[in-house]
């Protein structure tokens, strides 16, 4: 029996993850069907992580998980150049994250460290776009002069916040976080996050907090200190408000663009694209099908496709592609 053709556009149903620091804004602001009584911190918009993969919402592939589609269709789904660089591993993970409370002060490894410890193929370089901020702040790197000894001492004394650089952020800020950058998302901030397809996190400090199971959450101080870049001091940038299509980042592992106002075109060629609507509604129009994505909706555009992006008045969407 021949396989059904792979649609150009795959609208996705997210995987929702309860977190001790999560809230309810992903339902209120982005229409996510949050389970009653749960504090949802993360909506996995594009994911092929085992057990947390996103599922096709409708069409010929409805109900299929992204992990299984990638295994079956390979380069037809993600593109020849993506397959050449990343092999059988899916390269990107995209989330919406709601910080109702402070996240842990944390750091992620690079590829070399993750592989040397058999934690996976990918480390975790990521980028954030701030969507909402209630006078919120983020931790972004360490104070000048802080070294491994000083950071370890501050953690041991329960004063890690003293040696971390905090910055107030507002909607529209863009933050690029290479692996090794100490960081934290703090209370009141809601973000879009694109990253390598890895969920490896080394917690350095967690406010002596219990997890959802009532047990104190584990720290990973030795691993965290081993991968920390003590000279990393990234600064947020602003998204422009007057351009219909803007490249926000063109980084080592991914490219991120903002579409707003005027219609545009995505040509995926030998790669794929992931679209997430962060304001209003957007129509994706391919040669064989079209989909209207409401705010909070996401879709994957397979490789070798030309799709028109038609934003409604005031609408905005973010488009991520893997670097090849």
Q: Which residue intervals of the chain are DSSP H helices?
A: 25-30, 66-73, 75-78, 80-86, 111-116, 148-156, 221-227
Which of 25, 52, 203, 316 is the catalytic position? 203
Once rounded to an integer, what is the mean pLDDT over residues 177-200?
97
pLDDT tens string 227-236: 999 999 999 9
Once rounded to an integer, what is the mean pLDDT over residues 219-223?
97
Q: What percent of the chain has pLDDT over 90?
A: 94
Per-chain mean pLDDT for the chain: 96
Once rounded to an integer, what is the mean pLDDT over residues 85-105?
97
Question: 95 or 120, which is more confident?
Answer: 95
pLDDT at 207 over 80: yes
Closest Cα to residue 101, out of 220, 167, 184? 184
Once rounded to an integer, what is the mean pLDDT over residues 233-262?
92
Whether 245 sits among the annotated catalytic residues: the reply is no
Q: Which residues contact 166 (CB under 8 A, 6 or more apart)?
A: 137, 138, 139, 140, 186
Position 2 confidence tier, pLDDT thresholds 50, 70, 90: low
The phi and psi torsions of 40 (rounded to 5 degrees) equal -85, 120
The phi and psi torsions of 163 (rounded to 5 degrees) equal -110, 5
Q: What percent of the chain has pLDDT over 70?
A: 99
pLDDT at 41 over 90: yes
- What local confidence, expressed as pLDDT, does residue 71 receive? 96
Residue linked to tokens 């994911």: 47
Position 239 confidence tier, pLDDT thresholds 50, 70, 90: confident
Once rounded to an integer, what is the mean pLDDT over residues 125-144?
96
Question: 278 or 239, which is more confident?
Answer: 278
Once rounded to an integer, what is the mean pLDDT over residues 135-163?
97
Indicate the range of 1-5, 235-239, 254-258 predicted with least confidence: 1-5
- The domains found in the chain, sorted by start residue, are 9-238 (2.60.120.10), 245-322 (2.60.120.10)
Closest Cα to residue 267, out of 316, 319, 196? 319
- What local confidence, expressed as pLDDT, does residue 241 receive? 75
- What local confidence, expressed as pLDDT, does residue 3 receive? 62
CB 141 within 8 A of CB 110: no
Determine the Cα–Cα distance for residues 129 and 96; give it in Å rounded to an integer. 10
What is the secondary structure of 233-291 as a DSSP string? ----EE--SS-SEEEEEE-SSEEEEEEESS-EEEE-TTS-EEEEEEES-EEEE-SS-EE
């Amino acid at each position: 029996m021949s396989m059904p053709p792979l649609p150009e556009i795959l609208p996705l149903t997210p995987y929702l993850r309860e977190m001790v620091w999560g809230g309810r804004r992903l339902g209120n602001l982005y229409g996510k069907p949050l389970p009653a009584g749960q504090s949802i911190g993360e909506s996995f918009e594009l994911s092929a992580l085992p057990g947390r993969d996103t599922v096709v919402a409708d069409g010929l592939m409805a109900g299929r998980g992204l992990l299984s589609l990638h295994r079956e269709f390979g380069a037809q789904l993600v593109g020849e150049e993506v397959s050449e660089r990343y092999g059988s591993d899916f390269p990107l993970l995209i989330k919406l994250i709601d910080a109702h409370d402070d996240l842990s002060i944390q750091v992620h490894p690079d590829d070399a460290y993750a592989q040397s410890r058999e934690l996976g193929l990918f480390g975790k370089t990521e980028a954030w776009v701030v969507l909402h901020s209630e006078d919120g702040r983020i931790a972004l790197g360490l104070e000048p002069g802080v070294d491994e000894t000083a950071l370890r001492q501050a953690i041991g004394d329960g004063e890690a916040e003293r040696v971390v650089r905090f910055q107030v952020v507002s909607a529209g800020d863009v933050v690029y976080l290479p692996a090794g950058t100490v960081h934290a998302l703090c209370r009141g901030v809601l973000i879009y996050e694109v990253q390598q397809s890895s969920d490896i996190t080394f917690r350095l400090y967690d406010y002596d907090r219990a997890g959802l199971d009532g047990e104190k959450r584990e720290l990973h101080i030795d691993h965290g200190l081993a991968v920390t870049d003590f000279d990393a001091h990234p600064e947020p940038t602003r998204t422009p408000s007057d351009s219909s299509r803007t490249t926000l980042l063109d980084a080592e592992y991914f490219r991120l663009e903002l579409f707003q106002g005027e219609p545009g075109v995505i040509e995926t060629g030998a790669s794929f694209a992931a679209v997430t609507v962060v304001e209003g509604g957007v129509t994706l129009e391919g040669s064989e099908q079209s989909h209207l994505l409401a705010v909070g909706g996401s879709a994957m555009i397979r490789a070798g496709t030309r799709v028109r992006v038609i934003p409604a008045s005031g609408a905005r969407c973010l488009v991520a592609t893997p670097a090849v």
